[in-house]
Structure 1
Amino acid sequence: MTAALSRVDAAADGWEGGQVGGSYSQLKGDHAGVEYLNLGGPYGITYANKEKAHFKAERGYFRTQSLYGR
C-alpha cells in the first residue's frame, strides 16, 4: 500500500495545462442590378442591363492542446 501512495503523490506533484480554441466566420453576398437607357444617342435607342450575384462562404475550426509534466 505504501508503493501505491507514493505513485499518487508523485502524480500530484506534476503539472497539467492546456488550451482550447475555436472560431467560426461567415461571409454573405448580395445581388446587384444596373440598367442603362439612352434614347437619343448617335445610334438611336441604346439599352443595357447588367446583373451580378455575390457569393457566400463559411469557415470554422476547433483546436485543443494538452501539456503534462513532472
Structure 2
Amino acid sequence: MTRKERLTERNNQVRKLFYELHAKNKKWRIDAVIDEVANKMFLASRTVEAILNYEGIYGDTAPPQKVQLQLF
C-alpha cells in the first residue's frame, strides 16, 4: 500500500468517525465532535477540519458524502 493510499484511507476513516460521532451525539457542538475525532485519531483539530472540508492536500479523490457539513 502506497503512502497516498494510506493517507486516503486515514482521511476516509476520519470522515467516517466524525459522521458516526455526530449522529450518536446530536447535542454536541461541531467543535466538540472535531476535538473528539482529533483525540481518537491523534491529529490536530485543524487537520480534522481540513480533511472534512476536502481542503488543500486533504482533497483526495474520494467523492464527498452527500451530507457534507460546511463547518465555517
Normalised to the residue count of structure 1, the TM-score between the two structures is 0.25
Max Rg structure: 1
Q: Kindly indicate whether structure 1 or structure 2 has the higher relative contact order, using CA contacts under 8 Å at least 6 residues apart.
A: 1
Please state which structure has a larger fraction of its residues in helix. 2
Please state which structure has a larger fraction of its residues in strand. 1
Normalised to the residue count of structure 2, the TM-score between the two structures is 0.25
